[in-house]
Amino acid sequence: MKTENKIFLEKDHGIDFAMDQLFNTMATKVVLNIPRNSILGQSVHNFQILKREAETASKEIVVESIDEHILELASLAGITALNPVFKTKERIVADILPRGSEPESAHGRKKSELRKPKEEKKKQQEEEEPAADEEIVEIGRAEIVEENEYVPEDTGRNRRQGRTKGKKRVFVFGGSLVVILAAAFFVLTYLLPHVTIQVAIKKTTVSFSHPVAVSTAITVPSFSGDTLALPGQILSAASNLSLHFASGTEEQVQTKASGMLTVYNSYSSAPQLLVATTRFISPEGKLFRSVSRITVPGAKIANGTMTPGSIGVNVVAAEPGADYNVGPSTGWTIPGFEGTPRYTKFSAAALAPMTGGFIGTTTVPTKDDLANAKDEATQKLENVLMSQLSLLNSDNLKALPQSSSFTLTSENVTPSTATSGFDVYAVGSLKQLSFDEAMLQNAILDSVSNAASGTMKIDQFAVSYSTTTPDFTEGTMSFTATGTLTYEPNIDFNKVKSAIAGMSADALKATIFGLPGLQEANVSFWPFWVSNVPKNPANIIIEVK
């Protein structure tokens, strides 16, 4: 016996789910109700599979959908396709007629009445016509009159009104149809169509090993034989820190305060030599002496304005004790110039306090304690300076581990005045010779690709560098760069989209297959009836493998 089963699918039910439903039902006729925008509508191949599998299972298959695209694909695959909303139905008027009644003609009369002679009809009407004073009661009668249907009892005026209303409805329907068709044309022409282009671009991998000579004296990279000359840049930073250490032994000690003074020359533009142990008097009258010989730069005079020359000098108190731990101050004098014009033109200032002056029992570091403390202070100071240089470096600058040079400018060990133990005060500077790694990559790319600059781009770059020792006086260093470079043609796909917009399928293929370094390409249009590239670049999708 022939049985029928209707199966309702969801939008995300694919071909596998539909086939399972087809095989799992015992019915010989299967109606698949497919919703609008179902993923089955992505290809006519899905419906061809359903048709083939239904024939294999000896089943009749019907597709039911309100999506015209689904119906079209099903029909193309040879499957009966129906729209459940707009399919033809019998008129319901015939269903409510009493049994035995004859169907009426187009004007609401029975066919047998139309065959009666006019005289007999007239006599019958007279017999059936009630008296003037007779009341007519009709119970259970129902009239069903379709719009614009001719009713015999209507007057001429009613017939004219019906025709007028019908014309208005036709006009409104026609206008709506034009709007719908225009909207459909816009969607089908500008919104729906798109083209997807999948391309695989050839990539080339090469190995390299080049001696590299970095120098601050050059500005552009160049090859001399196999050696790459590369511009370099020196970065520098200076800082200080103070650390406290709690170890040591108790001893009676006397220490002198020390610190740094800034000496100013407002006397002349000529430099002034100051020998070691030059005396400086603080505003409190405390005597300090310079630790080393210095030369104070001359003043600079520009547009009648003098800018004093200045230099820093380390000083130590003439006597031990905490009285010499003076704070920051200005107005320090040089008694050696007293009685000369230089006395008022040379001055000094303590920008930081003098510290370390002490007499009494305190913790004194042992020889090992002192060595360990100095090493720790030096390492921490170097790390601080490396962090400062990393902030100064731009993203593309490369600093090799051996391309830095740390210098400990000064180191001072003093007993702690607050707690037991001792303090280490260290001042240092760090220099670093860096180079632009992106510049190195592009120079190697140009040397191996034999292409003009800009036609190739780097896809992957792996490199290792040999050890190096920079010469900061000359601003040079040398090392060897070894690694692999993967590159490909530099294609601007945004320009490609603009160029192919509106092209025919043949012109598109000629353009795509003419791209440099193309290995393979696949072009697909959607919907299936589209044969030209959309004019809107946003509807052009290029996928690079």
Residue 314 CA to residue 352 CA, distance in Å, equals: 12
Strands (E), 321-357: 329-332, 346-350
Alpha-carbon distance of 294 to 313, in angstroms, equals: 7
Name the percent of the chain lying above pLDDT 90: 46
Residue ranges of the chain with pLDDT lower than 70?
A: 1, 86-175, 181-191, 248, 363, 393-396, 415-419, 450-454
The whole-angstrom distance between residue 173's C-alpha and the CA centroid of its chain comes to 50
Residue 527: is the preceding peptide bond cis (ω within 30°)? yes
* CA separation for the pair 65, 79 (Å, rounded): 12
Rounded to whole angstroms, the Cα distance separating 477 from 405 reads: 12
Specify whether the CB–CB gap between 235 and 321 falls below 8 A. no
Neighbours of 93 (CB within 10 A): 13
Amino acid 357: pLDDT: 92
Do 33 and 9 contact (CB within 8 A), yes or no?
A: yes
Residue 421 backbone zone (phi > 0: left; psi -120 to 50: alpha; other: beta): left
> What residues form DSSP beta bridges with 458?
487
| Rounded distance between C-alpha atoms, residue 152 and residue 160, angstroms | 14
Residue 7 tokens, joined: 């199966």
> Cβ(300)–Cβ(313) under 8 Å?
no
Task: Report the distance separating Cα 180 and Cα 184, nearest Å.
Answer: 6
Where helices occur in 294-366 by DSSP H, the ranges are 342-345
Centre a 10 Å sphere on the Cβ of residue 70 and count the other Cβ atoms it contains. Answer: 24
Strand ranges for 216-297 from DSSP E: 222-224, 227-245, 249-265, 272-274, 279-281, 287-290, 294-296
Q: Which residues contact 43 (CB under 8 A, 6 or more apart)?
A: 73
Tell whether the torsion through CA atoms of 450, 451, 452 and 456 is positive or negative.
negative
Per-residue pLDDT tens digits for 406-455: 988 888 887 665 567 778 889 999 999 999 988 998 899 888 876 544 68
Distances (CA, A) of 66 to 29, 85, 312, 526: 20, 7, 91, 21
Q: How far apart, in whole angstroms, are the C-alpha atoms of residue 475 and residue 213? A: 11
Return the pLDDT at 526. 87
- What is the dihedral angle through the alpha carbons of 37, 43, 48, 54, rounded to the nearest 10 degrees? -30
pTM above 0.85, yes or no: no
Q: Tell me the CA distances in angstroms from 112 to 107, 154, 179, 283, one per residue in order.
A: 13, 22, 47, 140
According to the model, what pLDDT value does residue 118 have?
47
Q: Are strands 287-290 and 305-307 parallel, antiparallel or unpaired?
A: unpaired
| Residue among 322, 324, 331 at smallest CA distance from 283 | 331
Radius of gyration over alpha carbons of the chain, in Å? 51
Question: What backbone phi and psi angles, to 5 degrees, belong to 378?
Answer: -65, -45
C-alpha–C-alpha distance, residues 83 and 213, integer Å: 78
Of the candidates 399, 401, 458, 482, the one whose C-alpha atom is nearest the C-alpha of residue 212 is 482
* Contact criterion met (CB below 8 Å) for 251 and 365: no
Buried b (16+ CB within 10 A) or exposed e, 221-232: beeeeeebbbbb
DSSP-based three-state secondary structure for 34: coil
